[in-house]
A = this chain, B = another copy of it.
Amino acid sequence: MEKTRKILLSEKEMPTKWYNIMADMPNKPMPPLHPATKKPIGPEDLAPIFPMELIKQEVATDRYIEIPEEVQDLYKTYRPSPLFRAYNLEKSLGTKSKIYYKHEGLSYAGSHKANTAIPQAYYNKLEGVKRIITETGAGQWGSALSFACQYFGIDLEVFMVRISYDQKPSRKLMMNTYGAQVTASPSDRTKFGREILEKHPDSPGSLGIAISEAMEIAVQDSDTKYALGSVLNHVLLHQTIIGQEAVLQMEIAGELPDVIVGCFGGGSNFAGISFPFLKLNFTEGKNIRFIAVEPASCPKLTRGKFMYDFGDTSGMTPLLPMYTLGHNFIPAAIHAGGLRYHGAGVLVSQLLKDNLIEARSKKQKECFEAGVLFARTEAIIPAPESNYAIATAIEEAKMADEEGVSKTILFNLSGHGHFDLTSYDKYFGGNLEDHELTNEEIEKSLSEIS
């Protein structure tokens, strides 16, 4: 019997609008607050760092927002992305459940980050911006933005978290090849970076620190804007292209997922796959479950506190209502660099608070074990971040088997692991460590900010 392994959409079938969950979520998030006045911020507060179209999207309440034609056109360098049925993985598990995955690793940057890099660069270009500064963790966001900026004629400087800069030199070279300049963070290029280095000369860095450095330069230079690869509403909005395609593809497969899984750093790939299916829960009475999976070493969703906190370490961003471990929190140097972030996006935090989604944490060795099984069955070597989603999809399949039921499980394969093979090597050599925080460590980190 002939199997269909993957469901493709033609370019003509690619959605032409982003889905804005603000229109449908029952409780809207509380507003971001100005760090000085503690009053809700207005568009003018964000204007120095973001182009106005992105600020509008940050607060938009329309259900759909048109994807500009030039953005659609560049999406087509890699989109629509295929949706795979994981037949080989299912067989090796001996599960009765069906496992599907949306493969975002085929983009030029190797992950979903291109979905927001392209529109962010585009809207900056429309406003005549000549230079952007950003941060990157594992390097996927930086790579994605590097090409997009090159294409639209914008200079890009990237602050790359030190531990990833050292672990993944080829990610830096990829950004260089696309024409961007890359600096390891913390760096001596900024006041905040120098302060950190003075106290912790061996700091592995964090996304929070890298954001602070990038913003410090952006606000000083009126010709320079800042760009963020996750957390913010407009970023999550852009990622909904993933889930909207997947809704169409699951329809073609003739299935509705029982459960949808995404790994979780700031929320962008999880939101991308989930929000368009959450709409089905909100507007069509479906009952799909959603699981955000975070590292046990950076458990803001499962062990953090819902409160107003800064998005960066130095306290330059607006205060955001979110699950957080405290903006001073420096996660252990695990290999899923894209998940090493102290907070969670506002939209996803609100949905979790309202019990509309679930969260789970996992240690890295179990996730690498799942990633190796996936590689050896489905042929694709996943990014360490994606391994958290794979491990959870496998766990859900096993739980269903124990219950004696068959479930339809969909996860987002956020990226490939071509630049992460040294971490697999460490796994095979028994040199990966699992990190779990004590309650005291979490309380200490949170007490510093409340």
List, in ascending order, chain B residues with CB within 8 A of A108's CB.
379-381
Question: Contact check: which of B3, B76, B177, B376 meets A178 at CB < 8 Å?
Answer: B376
Closest 4 CB pairs of A and B: A108-B379, A173-B421, A5-B76, A418-B418
The A1-34 residues at the B interface (CB cut-off 8 A) are: 2-6, 8, 10-12
Chain A binding surface SS class: helix
> A422 near B: Cβ within 8 Å?
yes
B176, B418, B428: the one contacting A419 at CB < 8 Å is B418
Does residue A219 face the partner (Cβ distance < 8 Å to B)?
Answer: no
Known: A4-B76, A8-B10. 18 other contacts (CB 8 A): A3-B76, A4-B11, A4-B12, A5-B11, A5-B76, A5-B77, A6-B11, A8-B8, A108-B379, A108-B380, A110-B418, A147-B375, A151-B377, A170-B170, A176-B425, A177-B375, A178-B381, A418-B418
Interface string of A164-204 (1 = CB under 8 A from B): 00000010011011110000000000000000000000000
The complex is assembled from copies of this chain, and their number is 2
Q: A108 to B174: give the CA distance in the assembly, Å.
A: 19
Q: Are B421 and A174 in contact (CB under 8 A)?
A: yes
Alpha-carbon separation in the docked complex, A376 to B78 (Å): 15
Neighbouring B residues of A377 by C-beta, 8 Å: 151
In the complex the two chains form, is B375's CB within 8 Å of A428's CB? Answer: no
> Nearest-CB distance from A280 to chain B (Å)?
26
Whether the pair A424, B177 counts as a contact (CB closer than 8 A) is yes
Q: Mark A146-169, 1 if CB is under 8 A from B, else 0.
A: 010011000000000000000000
Q: A5-B76, A77-B5 are in contact. Are A421 and B147 (CB under 8 A)?
A: no
Cβ contacts under 8 Å, A11 to chain B: 4-6
Contact indicator per residue, chain A 263-300, by CB within 8 Å of chain B (1) or not (0): 00000000000000000000000000000000000000
In the complex, A351 has a CB within 8 A of chain B: no
A106 on interface, CB distance cutoff 8 Å: yes
Take A8-B8, A10-B8, A11-B4 as given contacts and tell me if A381 and B174 are in contact as well, using a CB distance cutoff of 8 Å: yes
For residue A356, CB closer than 8 A to chain B, the reply is no
Contact: A372 with B147, CB < 8 Å? Answer: no
> Which of chain B's residues has its CB closest to A74's CB?
B379
